[in-house]
Chain A
Amino acid sequence: MIFKQFRFEKIGQASYLLGCARSKEAIVVDPIADLGTDFYLMEAADRALAVVRVLETHIHADYASCARELAESAGAEHHLFHAAPVRYLFSPLTDGQVLDVGKVRVRVLATPGHTPEHVSYLVTDRARSEEPWFVLTGDSLFVGDVGRPDLLVGDQAVDVLDEAARARLQYQSIKNVLFALPEHVEVYPGHYGGSACGGVNMSGKVSSTIYFEKRYSLAMQQPDELAFARFVRESAKPFPENYSRLKSYNLGLIADPRHEAAHA
């Protein structure tokens, strides 16, 4: 298989290209507008791949997504979890759903917490083994940290769960879904380093394993959900810049705020 992690260092964001060298098809996960649609199309073309699916782990609050443009440009499907409260058309995913691209198999794992519609993507390279190889955890499990559950506060129009409820969900998703995976499974997160989507314990390292995070994630060492919620709140960084406008854009509620900033 072909697997590539793209890092946008300014905000510690990671997006991904997964492809099958046999079928010449690719999936892009969490494309960021700062890199842009052409960037992803060029990277796919460099490997003789056609982008056939564009996946997002959730509706992002700290950057503008270019998933809609990329899917349209490539003639690809744009996938989000079915519960995503967006104002545009997409191909809805359900928990446990399987997407095959050639020999590459992606299984959808519902991992709500950071946001209600958050999913992780478990990847298997069936050319090598039927066992899963790695998981794209988006903003649920980070290296050394977890996704903060408080980024939607004040955004009641699109979110009905409060911070405490989301913190409990995050704890359960990581403990019962991600930590239930085979321990050899590698973890590739949506953010690393200085990203404001997690807390001060987030590592600058860009991948880990279920084994390592299960043993050494400080947040997940907390004895229960309440202690977890307190730990996450107390270790959170300042809110990401412009997050409610970026979130609104990604939901399809407003025009691209980066363009407005450019005109101002």
Chain B
Amino acid sequence: MTPQEVAAARDAGAVVLDMRLPRVFARAHVPGAINLQFNRADLADRADMVLPRNQPYIVHAEPEALASAAVDIMREAGFEIAGHLSGGLSAWRAAGMPVDTIQVIDVDDLKSSADSLVAIDARDGFEYRHGHVPGASLLPWTDAWAHADEAPSGELAVICGDEVRSSLVASILRRNGRSVRLVVGGMVDWNERGYPVEKQGAAKQA
């Protein structure tokens, strides 16, 4: 699909699935896109756990070979895929289309901004209960689409194990008009720094 076709389909209700790496997605993406990291092994399974069936999608993956593979996988899984963004983000930009960004921070930034940022943990419940950033709210990646409007108020900073699930949730929150940051490095970095964690007892459901 040309950038113009993608923009028109998106404005008519199709959701752009950006399958590039989270850090690349954060730098610039089609406004409204959500970041569902590509891989051949379980892309269909993850899509199934996250996305509703009753609406069309557009794939954005680079290069073209990945985009074609992704479209095939998603269609095989029964999703309605209108097509993919031909030529990727450079074609989008060349057509004069605007891009959106998500600000990236690391765990040091998150720790030092604990007063001004509300941490959202995008992992599964069992991981959250095992240990999370003190004060963080749980919004599991599998619930994010349906429950994005239940996220706490304030400036959000989304964290997971690394940055794959957090980028997905951050992009969904962003799509819902929220101000979000993506915490790269995730709990792996947080724990390596020896920063404090909160266990099960203090859990707050988002």
Contact = CB atoms under 8 A, between A and B. Distances in A.
A48 B63 contact: no
B188 interface: yes
B21 A41 contact: no
Interface string A15-49: 00000011010000000000000100110011111
Contacts of B63: 38, 41, 73
Nearest to A38: B65
Contact of B185 (A22, A46, A49): A22
Contact of B65 (A42, A48, A49, A50): A42
Please classify the interface of chain B as helix (H, G, I), strand (E, B), loop, or mixed, using the class held by over half of its residues: loop
B158 interface: no
B41 interface: yes
B204 interface: no
A42 B67 CA distance: 10
A38 B40 CA distance: 13
A42 B22 CA distance: 16
Interface string A195-216: 0000000000000000000000
Interface string B13-28: 0000000011110000
B178 to A, nearest CB: 24
B66 A48 contact: no
Nearest to B19: A45
**Which bracket fits the contact residues of A?**
10 to 19
A38 B65 CA distance: 6
Interface string A105-142: 00000000000000000000000000000000000000
Contacts of B142: none
B164 A48 contact: yes
Interface in A25-81: 38, 41-42, 45-50, 73
B171 interface: no
Interface string B154-178: 0000000011100000000000000
B61 to A, nearest CB: 8
B91 interface: no
Nearest to B189: A22
A41 B66 CA distance: 8
B38 A50 contact: no
Given A22-B185, A24-B162, 7 more contacts: A22-B188, A24-B21, A42-B40, A46-B38, A46-B39, A50-B21, A73-B63
Interface of B: 21-24, 37-41, 61, 63, 65-66, 69, 162-164, 185, 188-189
Interface of A: 21-22, 24, 38, 41-42, 45-50, 73
